Structure 1
């Protein structure tokens, strides 16, 4: 079951739930057509952020998958702005998707997704990094925000 507990699967589940909410909206609420450009930018930007972060982690030869032990603490590139750019990218993709499918009732799923990812993945990962790289992680955590 732990193999199925992965952030991309949670993103897919939340995206599907947003789609269900959009289809079941009894009031036929709409955010308007102006949301299509921001939706595309959020989805594209989120995917690009994820890709850049994964490439940087690969360049540093450290684990990308959650719950795997990191061999190095990556603090440069996109990790200089956010301690968790991959999860931030996923949140941007989800927000973009909600805008793209014009589902205002699904907007609360975005902070719920962030909360779930933080509890299930971010906090345990940061605890592991703090144990593995105590001084370096402490400095990094003080200098770099968790999300933005």
Structure 2
């Protein structure tokens, strides 16, 4: 499934995480709208989803600020000029991706249907294989021992 998604119908579209997030958010909406399985979830799930989305946006903003401070690219598939190990990067090597995953998870909770419940896992796999693994290889190549030390002491997600 993941290989089909990575190489199949989405091949050629802008390969950046917010676009992938948009695809998964749209898929969640479609599944909820046209195949709503078990929709008995209520206000608690909506509130939890909203809180998760709000927290995720805060983490993403905090993380993006560090790219600006270090004057390095935030775009995947571009070579960084600095290794960021401060701020949220002390706790997670990928706080922006964690935030994007939390947005999707929050949206699935907010929808209140079981039909899109597997989408956060699929999105996690896409982020890991399409962006995180290649970025980690690039960090090792560019920053060497410093990157290895950081990658070994800081968790990939949380």
Q: Same fold (TM over 0.5)?
A: yes
1:39 corresponds to which of 49, 60, 65: 49
Any stretches of 5+ residues in structure 1 without a counterpart? Answer: none
Shift of 1:28: 4.8
Any stretches of 5+ residues in structure 2 without a counterpart? Answer: 1-10
Q: Give the superposed CA RMSD.
A: 1.4
Task: Deviation per CA, 1:17-72: give whole Å up to 9, x if none.
Answer: 00000011254533232112211111011111111100111101111011111000
Matching of residue 12 in structure 1 with residue 22 in structure 2: yes
TM-score between the two structures when normalised by the length of structure 1:
0.95
Q: What residue is the counterpart of 2:111 in the other structure? A: 101
User: Would the aligned equivalents of 1:50 and 1:85 in 2 still touch at CA under 8 Å?
Assistant: yes
1:55 corresponds to which of 62, 65, 79: 65
Q: 1:38 to 1:121 in 2, by over 3 A?
A: same
Q: How does 1:1-148 map to 2 (within 5 A)?
A: 4-25=14-35, 27-148=37-158
Runs of 4 or more off by more than 2 Å in structure 1?
25-33
Shift of 1:109: 0.3
Q: How many residues align?
A: 148
SS of residue matched to 2:112: coil
TM-score between the two structures when normalised by the length of structure 2:
0.89
